[in-house]
A and B are shown apart, each in its own frame.
Chain A
Amino acid sequence: EAAVTQSPRSKVAVTGGKVTLSCHQTNNHDYMYWYRQDTGHGLRLIHYSYVADSTEKGDIPDGYKASRPSQENFSLILELASLSQTAVYFCASKTANSDYTFGSGTRLLVI
């Protein structure tokens, strides 16, 4: 069954520290996305990728980097975590003719 697995499920990070969120998909999908969800707001796109070794900026890329070392893996990197980056982060994958498959999310608390 197609799946998107995110790790860790939750994390507490210190302000100014580096945080890496990982996403692994077994769907053989070309497109992968990182979104953040804030309470009371809709998901917003941070970065996306449509092929390995290439990433694109989404609507709110500031403070985030992304890495797509292979088709299956897509990471989101916070070089200097800030309090405002406390949120739930979702990874998703898709191919041209498929529906979106979302991971279960990573809850990040920056203190």
Chain B
Amino acid sequence: KTQVEQSPQSLVVRQGENCVLQCNYSVTPDNHLRWFKQDTGKGLVSLTVLVDQKDKTSNGRYSATLDKDAKHSTLHITATLLDDTATYICVVGDRGSALGRLHFGAGTQLIVIP
């Protein structure tokens, strides 16, 4: 059973617009949550890590929230650029150590058009 659900599955926005990606999960325990960006044909690049019960992070035009009570996270992208076109993957880690399991969502495919 899928333990990390992302929505929408795909999204098209115009350059300069803002967008919000959603992640709901059922992983227990939920030690931390990561958002990755995957360009077509490339590996995953970490955008941010959220750890606290109710957490917020900011990394340039990317900002993210985590609510462990609701088991829900959001990724906000402000003033999108064409280079933001990629798949964004939500990942929940069940432990803080490197031996903990990562549970991957299927990703949201974002397409930014001129």
Please measure, in the bound complex, the distance between the C-alpha atom of A94 and the C-alpha atom of B98, giving whole angstroms.
7
Which residue of A has the minimal Cβ distance to B107? A42
Interface residues on B, range: 20 to 34
Given A31-B98, A42-B105, A96-B98, do A105 and B49 touch, yes or no (CB 8 Å)?
A: no
Please measure, in the bound complex, the distance between the C-alpha atom of A74 and the C-alpha atom of B28, giving whole angstroms.
29
Instruction: Please determine whether B107 and A103 come into contact, CB atoms closer than 8 angstroms.
Output: no
- The total of chain A residues at the interface (CB under 8 A) is 24
Instruction: Please determine whether A99 and B43 come into contact, CB atoms closer than 8 angstroms.
Output: no
A45 touches which one: B36, B102, B105 (CB < 8 A)?
Answer: B102
Residues of B within 8 A of A105 (CB): 41-43
Classify the interface of chain A: helix, strand, loop or mixed.
loop
Q: How many A-B residue pairs have CB under 8 A?
A: 52
Instruction: Please determine whether A50 and B98 come into contact, CB atoms closer than 8 angstroms.
Output: yes
Please measure, in the bound complex, the distance between the C-alpha atom of A96 and the C-alpha atom of B106, giving whole angstroms.
26
- Chain B 88-105 interface 0/1 with A at a Cβ cutoff of 8 Å (1 = within): 010100000111011111
Given A94-B98, A96-B98, do A44 and B104 touch, yes or no (CB 8 Å)?
A: yes
Please measure, in the bound complex, the distance between the C-alpha atom of A44 and the C-alpha atom of B34, giving whole angstroms.
16
Residues of A within 8 A of B4 (CB): 42
Please measure, in the bound complex, the distance between the C-alpha atom of A42 and the C-alpha atom of B98, giving whole angstroms.
19
A57 to chain B: closest CB distance in Å? 12
Q: State which residues 52-92 of B face A: CB under 8 Å.
A: 89, 91
Which residue of B has the minimal Cβ distance to A59? B101
Instruction: Please determine whether A100 and B46 come into contact, CB atoms closer than 8 angstroms.
Output: yes
Tell me the B residues contacting A by CB distance below 8 Å. Answer: 2, 4, 34, 36, 41-46, 49, 89, 91, 97-99, 101-107
